[in-house]
Amino acid sequence: MKQTRPITIAGGRLVTPAGVREGALRMADGRIAALGDVTPDNGDEIVDARGGLVTPGLVDLGVFAIDKPAFHFGGITRAALMPDQSPALDLPSRVSYIAKSGKPDLWVHPLAAATRGLEGREIAEIALMREAGARGVATGRSWIADSGAMLRLLQYAAMLDMTVVTHAEDAALVGSAVATAGEYATRRGLPSAPAEAEAIAIARDLALAEMAGARLHFRQVTTAAGLDLVRRAKAQGQAVTAGVTPAHFMLSDLATVDFRTFARLSPPLRSEADRQAVREAIADGTIDVISSGHDPRGPEDKRLPFADAEPGMAGAETLLAMVLSLVLDDVIDLGRAFELVAGKPAQLLDVEAGRLEAGLEADIAIVDPDRPWVIQSAKMAATAGNTPFDGQPTQGRVTALWKGGVAIGG
């Protein structure tokens, strides 16, 4: 599926890293041909954006399932798939299959399993998986407890110039915990772990990454202490980036008081002080990426006692609206919002997308930032609607989407 006719989007507001400006955007041969003061050529298809935002398609860094209808609803044109699949993405053949699976209207970028079976011991064949299409290395849902294995992984990845995406929770401290230690977990008798488990994991991994000269991305940093460590490492020039999902800047552990398992997440929801620290870290640039963590879970996984339910949320459809809420709250501006959900993830994956720049692939969305809607789990396009935002009024919807200059249906 290739673009057969040039398209000019006119009457919109272009969202670039430098800010928002009036202008048009022209797509030809699957790439952005020009933007700004653009005059359509004869034969161009003309699309009227009607004052909407013209933005890059979202690049979702770290999903656990490929869910095309949900991704397209949310304006996602590329997704980095975590290796926690069945079977794990620890062989080149599995990575190659996944790398081809979403095309042509969604590009899936597999993240190679760091260790065989994601067991945290034997380093997987990362070089062969890179040749098969892996765009990074990931430890999956778990932390590699063996420091020797983690150092070898980081050294190997540094040699291959690949980013290591890691989970930041000390496994021995977390154990079978389902909540963050504190008043709410204690009152409800939930197995809990101290919030410090995150900072301890981050401190060790930062030290090892510095030894190895490796690029490290913490998929989720959710505590003030963990964010302070990342902030300090960045100030010292270390090649580290950090991500988070909307749940951790929108919700605190107060959301677990009624035992609703849609709020059972990994890492678990934190204190209100930590939630505010995450918002501050988004504002000051400590957090580089906001991803959906898309992990649809059906009733068989969620309709259980809180301690027995599987973690995860269906986040693809709500990602954009939740990030736009930060703009409404004056935490960030629109240019920064799309750097968080498109520009920086594309850079980390080393793909030619994520920004409105001539020459990049024409993964483009038109967004109505003011369009109101109510999040309803029962009506979600995802294979399961396990969202902690069920019933929440919000605003901001994608009204048109192109992948490589080809229109995608809703």
Report the pLDDT averaged over residues 271-297.
96
Asked whether residue 405 carries a pLDDT value surpassing 50, the answer given is yes
In a domain? residue 396: no
Q: Does residue 410 carry a pLDDT above 60? A: no
Model confidence over 217-236: pLDDT tens digits?
999 999 999 999 999 999 99
79 touches 403 (CB < 8 A):
no
CB of 345 within 8 A of CB of 291?
yes
Q: Is residue 403 part of a domain?
A: no
Angle made by CA atoms 59, 63, 64, in degrees to the nearest 5: 160
Which residue reads 């154990």 in tokens? 175
In percent, the amount of the chain with pLDDT more than 70 equals: 99
Does the residue 198 lie in any domain?
yes
Report pLDDT for 157.
97
Is 48 domain-assigned? no
Residue 298 lies in a domain: yes
pLDDT in tens, 137-155: 999 999 999 999 999 999 9
Tens of pLDDT, residues 202-220: 999 999 999 999 999 999 9
pLDDT of 157-206, one tens digit each? 999 999 999 999 999 999 887 777 888 788 778 877 899 999 999 999 99
Question: What share of the chain has pLDDT > 90, as a percent?
Answer: 80
For CA atoms 156, 158, 162, 167, the dihedral sign is: positive
Is residue 32, in this structure, part of any structural domain at all? no
Domain assignment present for residue 191? The answer is yes
Contact 229, 236 (CB under 8 A): no
Which amino acid, residue 247? Answer: A
Q: Sorting pLDDT into bands at 50, 70 and 90, what band is 261?
A: confident
Q: Is pLDDT of 5 > 50?
A: yes
Number of structural domains the chain divides into: 1
Q: How confident is the model at residue 254 (pLDDT cuts 50, 70, 90)?
A: confident
Q: Is residue 86 part of a domain?
A: yes
pLDDT 10s digits, 325-345: 999 999 999 999 999 999 999
The whole domain housing 258 covers 59-351+372-391
- DSSP H helical segments within 14-162, as ranges? 68-73, 92-101, 126-131, 147-160
Per-residue pLDDT band at 384 (split at 50, 70, 90)? confident
Residue (of 15, 103, 18) closest to 66 by Cα position: 103
The mean pLDDT value of the chain amounts to 94
What local confidence, expressed as pLDDT, does residue 34 receive?
Answer: 96
Q: In this structure, what CATH number is given to the domain that contains residue 187? A: 3.20.20.140
Average pLDDT over residues 73-81: 97
**Residue 289: is its pLDDT beyond 90?**
yes
Across the range 50-55, mean pLDDT stands at 97
